Structures are given as structure tokens and as C-alpha cells.
Amino acid sequence: MLALLAGGVAAVLLVVAGLVLAVMTALRAGGSGSSPSRTAAGGASTRGASGGSADSAPTTLDARSPNALAGAPMQTVPDSASHPSALSLHQPPAPLPLPTSTRMGPAGVPTGFPRTTAGALAQLAAIDGTALSSATMSGVRDVIAGWAVPGGPTTSSWSGVTAMATVLNAVQRAGDSSNDVTSSVAGSPGGGQLVVVASPLMGLVKGSLPAGSGTARGPAPQFVVPCLDIELDVTANSTARGATSDCQRMVWTDGRWMIGAGPEPAPAPAVWPGTDLAYSVGYRDLRYAGIPGPAVTDAPGAEAGSAAAGVSRG
């Protein structure tokens, strides 16, 4: 994100832009699958993102196992792809419609999403949006404690915890008090010195594996690897912006989607939302339920009554 400073941006943004880069790096480092390559390997499915709906049946993996699906490398892009870039002028693929939440879950994370691949993607968006926009260690720890099964990421190992610690440590080194760090939701400026806004704007479904029993529509997914492309805005008097990404193992347990056991999946490309490159790697705009156009209320990580962009924005 240091490229954002070209043109003599104010000195305070030197700190802010570094924080954005630190968060992006920490989140991507969470994926501990196989090393990335330029193309997907092992027959890993991206059909959920590149055609049809998020509930389209994914291409069968060569090795039909959660570890093979999670660890399959994804396309890599240069670090500069995460910087704000020109939006695509081409007709984008159809957005991914996400179901709406029906209740609040642990740590204030919206939940009640259906047992579909779209439901798994929506739940991950709610988890990441709530955790990162909390801008506190207690916030991200509360989220992962309530949303990971035994054997999954913990309050010390989750990439979201690492990312938040990186931000707050950098703030402390810059001489700021932790009391100056505040959370914010999109559309609502915060009153503190540092504001972190995480907006999941694009996504894809890497693939899914069914449960043993089926439904009228076919086998219900038990294991899904959804991926998000997240716009990250960090403000300290001025704002630095960048994109980060997150993939997680989502499992259906106790009537809701949770982050499953095992290493975090291979990292997804972090691309500025809405660009030609973002669409070319398989991302699609997220369309939140009940919202016909770009304006979205009740977006993941947002408080009641706030608003966030539900499609890619510049």
C-alpha cells in the first residue's frame, strides 16, 4: 500500500498505509495450504464463482477430501493488484445473491443462513466483517471463539487475530493509545483517531463437499470453502484503502455454518474489487438479500441502520 503515498500524501498516512498493508499480509499469511501458483491445481472447483449461482454443483476434485479442496492452490496476482485501481467498464458477470440473516449469533455476528454454499459464503462475510470492523483484539477473539469448531483456528492462531494484533501494535509504536482505536461501520464515520472498516464486496465458492444424506435439491453441502475479496479502509485523519482476501473451511454443525478444523485454506488473490482482474480470477460482486441495487443495509459487520456498498466500488 505504500504506492498510495505517491504525490506527497500527508505524513500520517505513512502509518495508515502501512497498517493496511500489514492487515492484508497477515490475513493472506493465514492460508497454510499448498504454495500458490498461477493457476488452480488439482481440479479445484471455482464454478461457484465463475458461472451459475453460488449453489451450483462444483467440479469434482481429483481427491475428494476437505484437505485437498482447502489446500488446492489458487491463482496468484501481484501485490499491486490490491491497490485501488480503475473499475471495469465491461459488463460484469451476474452478482452472487446472498441470503439474509434471520438472527444474531455469538459475538454479535449475523447468522441463520441456510445450508447452501451461498449460506456458507454469507456466513463467512458476516464473520469477517464483524471481526475486522471491531478494530479490537477482544472483538476478533470473541468472534473466532464463537465461530470455530474444535481443531479450527483459535484466539491465538486465527489470521484475523494476527491481522488485528499487527494493526494495534503498529498504532502503539506510533505513540497512539489503544483507547484511540475505534470500530466503525460502512457509512458511519467513527469518532476516534483510527477507524477500520472491512467491507466484503466480492466472493467466490472454491468448492464444496456434500453430506451423506440428500435433499430434494440434491446432496446438502457439509463442507464448503468460500472466499471473499474485502475492501479495507483504514482512517487516521486521512484514509488509506486496499483489498485483502480470506478463504475458510466452513462446516455445517449444530444448525449453522462454522469455521472448520484444520489449517486455513490456501490464500485467494487479493484484488481491488470491481476491476477486470477481479472478475478474471473468478470473483463476483456480492448482492445481499432484498437489496435490488448497489445500496446495501445490514451488510456483514454493520450495525443496525448503517449502510454499505453491496457491489464493487471505486
- Nine-digit cell at 60? 469434482
Residue 90's pLDDT is what?
96
Cα distance between residue 250 and residue 257, in whole Å = 6
Which of these ranges, 57-61, 130-134, 211-215, has the smallest mean pLDDT?
A: 57-61
Cα distance between residue 90 and residue 47, in whole Å = 21
Question: What band does 18 get if pLDDT is binned at 50, 70 and 90?
Answer: low
Question: What band does 27 get if pLDDT is binned at 50, 70 and 90?
Answer: low
Instruction: Look at residue 284 and tell me whether its pLDDT is greater than 90.
Output: yes
User: Is residue 85 a contact partner of residue 272, using CB atoms and an 8 Å limit?
Assistant: yes
What is the length of the chain? Answer: 314
Residue 24's pLDDT is what?
65
- Nine-digit cell at 270? 487479493
Q: Which domain, by its residues, includes 74?
A: 2-309
- Nine-digit cell at 123? 456466513
The conformation of residue 188, written as its DSSP 8-state character, comes to B
Report helix, strand or coil for 156: coil
Task: Using alpha carbons, select from 231, 305, 222, 221 the residue that is nearest to residue 275.
Answer: 231
Query: Among all chains, which residue has been given the C-alpha cell 478463504?
Result: 247
Percentage of the chain surpassing pLDDT 70? 61
Residue 298's pLDDT is what?
41
Residue 195's pLDDT is what?
79
More confident residue, 94 or 174: 94
- What is the average per-residue pLDDT within 88-108? 96
Residue 197 lies in a domain: yes
Residue 136 lies in a domain: yes
DSSP tally for the chain: helices H, then strands E: 7, 12
Task: Using alpha carbons, select from 199, 201, 203, 200 the residue that is nearest to residue 54.
Answer: 203
More confident residue, 228 or 193: 228
* Structural element, H or E, at residue 13: helix 12-29
Residue 30's pLDDT is what?
61
Instruction: Look at residue 121 and tell me whether its pLDDT is greater than 80.
Output: yes
- Structural domains of the chain, count: 1
Q: What angle, rounded to 10 degrees, do the helices at 12-29 and 159-173 form?
A: 160
Task: Using alpha carbons, select from 135, 115, 102 the residue that is nearest to residue 54.
Answer: 115
- What is the average per-residue pLDDT within 94-98? 96
Phi, psi dihedral angles at 306 (to 5 degrees):
-90, 175
Which of these ranges, 26-30, 36-40, 64-68, 298-302, has the smallest mean pLDDT?
A: 36-40
Q: What angle do CA 224, 146, 137 make, to 5 degrees?
A: 110
Task: Please provide the average confidence, as pLDDT, over all residues in the chain.
Answer: 74
Residue 314 lies in a domain: no
Question: What band does 165 get if pLDDT is binned at 50, 70 and 90?
Answer: confident
Residue 1's pLDDT is what?
27
